[in-house]
Amino acid sequence: MALFGQTAPGQARNASDIVRVGVMGCNGRGKDHIAGFLRVPNCEIAYICDVDSRAVEQGVSLAARRQSTPPKGISDLRYMLEDPQLDAISIATPDHWHAPAAIMACAAGKHVYVEKPGSHNLHESQLLMKAAAKHRRVVQMGTQRRSWPWIIEAIQALHSGEIGQAFLARAWYTNRRTSIGPGKVVSVPPWLNWQLWQGPAPDEPLRDNLPHYNWHWFWSWGTGELGNNGVHCLDLARWGLGVDYPRRVTCGGGRYHYQDDWQVPDTCLATYDFGGKMIALDCQSFDPHGMDGSSFGVSFHGDKGTLVIAGNTVRVYDLNEKATREVEGKSDDTLHFANFVDSIRRGTALAAGIADAEKSTVLCHLGNIAWRSGQTVDFVPQSWEVNGGKEMRAFTRRTYRAGWEPKV
């Protein structure tokens, strides 16, 4: 497609320059992307891109309320990548589109904000890191807690030794999701471009229990609860412990609560051994009762005490279980979008730059590989390989539709 002629990076030059962003995927999290970027000074939504024409209309309307120039509504990512005036794209699509879209954008000279998990499989994690480095693009992942001041303060307390040497992180995410039932093949509605929705994924018929959220629970498009919400827990745990890649991973669990089309585990326990430090993650999609009174959290255990991040609260306990400090925080995702824009403008360090952020996603992929293979996974980051035979290695990548395989 040669819609605008030669592509070129849309590098903003100073704080007063307008940073023009195209948002891809607007049925769910994408609406938060639109609102978030519109709260950042001198930032403009130039494109709304979605394969659902109804979502395009809603996204354009949402942006037009806050800026003088309405964004262009489109269905095909490639159209906006050809615009030399576009600085960045923001990706809030299903997981199978994350890395292919981000890699295409980097090659087109665009900076990228990509929602977690940022990739669909282990192979794509490596490709995305390479693409950002090769094209020298600013690529931020949507693990937004990295930008929340009270979370930063908690991690700094860990690193300064407030609970001594931390050696274990216990993470959890719980929810009460309903059954998706058995899906029926249906005709594609006129408002949906089903071929573009699938994009890099092999062609399958549309089922009525798939759009626009239940794709999370199918391996063709999603990464299960580990990649959906577990990645946030794992990112905090890995950050707090100061670790990168595990040497050994296990994951047990299953589809326990319903008999339906759901392919991923609804209940799982994953463990990550870093050699001297460990992360344990408990993900339950059908039991809302979490720990420490919250459905989301991470507890860090050291030789002098425990630090717990539960919901929007941080508590520190000594070895006698006496609370020594408590901090109440709040979520503010705009800070994460602003950090991305500041990095484009001024070279500010990214809070969740892809070279580090995808390490947390790798934990999700390794956990899924362990569950799908039924084996303990030994990971060798130097060669980006897992142990085991051909069956286990097959879970490290996917089959792509012809012409859509991402390359760097």
CATH number of the domain where residue 233 is located? 3.30.360.10
Q: Residue 14: pLDDT above 70?
A: no
Question: Rounded CA gap, 272 and 69, in Å?
Answer: 49
Residue with tokens 């995305």: 128
pLDDT tens profile 210-245? 999 999 999 999 999 999 999 999 999 999 999 999
The answer to whether the Cα torsion of 116, 120, 126, 132 is positive or negative is: negative
Q: What is the DSSP string of 140-168?
A: EES-GGGG-HHHHHHHHHHHTTTTSSEEE
> Quick one: average pLDDT of 253-267?
96
- CA dist 17 and 35 (Å) reads 19
In this predicted structure, what is the pLDDT of residue 2?
33
pLDDT, residue 9, reads: 38
Question: Does residue 343 fall inside a structural domain?
Answer: no
Q: Please indicate, yes or no, whether residues 161 and 137 belong to a single structural domain of this protein.
A: no
240 backbone dihedrals φ, ψ, rounded to 5°:
-65, -40
Total domains in the fold of the chain: 2
Which residues are bridge partners to 251 per DSSP? 270
Over residues 303-328, the mean pLDDT reads: 96
Cα distance between residue 125 and residue 366, in whole Å: 11
For residue 257, the model assigns a pLDDT of: 93
Tell me how many degrees the CA angle 123-285-229 measures, rounded to the nearest 5: 45
Assign 3-class secondary structure to 248-302. Answer: EEEEEEECCCCCCCCCCCCEEEEEEECCCCEEEEEEECECCCCECCECEEEEEEE
Would you say residue 207 lies in a domain? no
Residue 242: domain span: 150-180+212-331+354-394
Say if residue 163 is in the same domain as residue 304.
Answer: yes
Contacts of 154 (CB under 8 A, 6+ apart): 240, 307, 309, 314, 327
Residue 6 pLDDT class (50, 70, 90 cuts):
very low
Tell me the pLDDT band of 3, cut-offs 50, 70 and 90: very low
Domain identity same for 292 and 369: yes
Mean pLDDT, rounded, for 193-220: 96
pLDDT the model gives residue 390:
87
The predicted model gives 203-208 an average pLDDT of 96
Residue 405 is assigned to a structural domain of this protein: no
Rounded distance, CA 245 to CA 355, Å?
12
Give yes or no: residues 134 and 164 share one domain: no
Mean pLDDT for all residues in the chain: 94
User: Which helix (H) or strand (E) element contains residue 361?
Assistant: helix 354-373
Q: Is 122 in the same domain as 162?
A: no
Task: Answer for the pair 234, 309: CB distance below 8 angstroms, yes or no.
Answer: no
pTM: predicted TM-score of the whole model, two decimal places: 0.94
Q: What percentage of the chain reaches a pLDDT higher than 70?
A: 96
CA-based nearest residue to 169, from 295, 309, 266, 292:
309
For 30-71, how does the pLDDT look when each residue is reduced to its tens digit (9 = 90+)?
Answer: 999 999 999 999 999 999 999 999 999 999 999 999 999 999
Residue-level pLDDT at 28:
87
Does residue 16 carry a pLDDT above 80? no
- Is the same domain home to 302 and 323? yes
Instruction: Tell me which of 145, 163, 189 is where a domain ends.
Output: 145
Structure tokens at 99: 């890395």
Span 100-155, pLDDT tens digits: 999 999 999 999 999 999 999 999 999 999 999 999 999 999 999 999 999 999 99
**Structure confidence by residue, pLDDT tens digits, 275-294:** 999 999 999 999 999 999 99
- Alpha carbon 67 to its chain centroid, in Å, reads 28
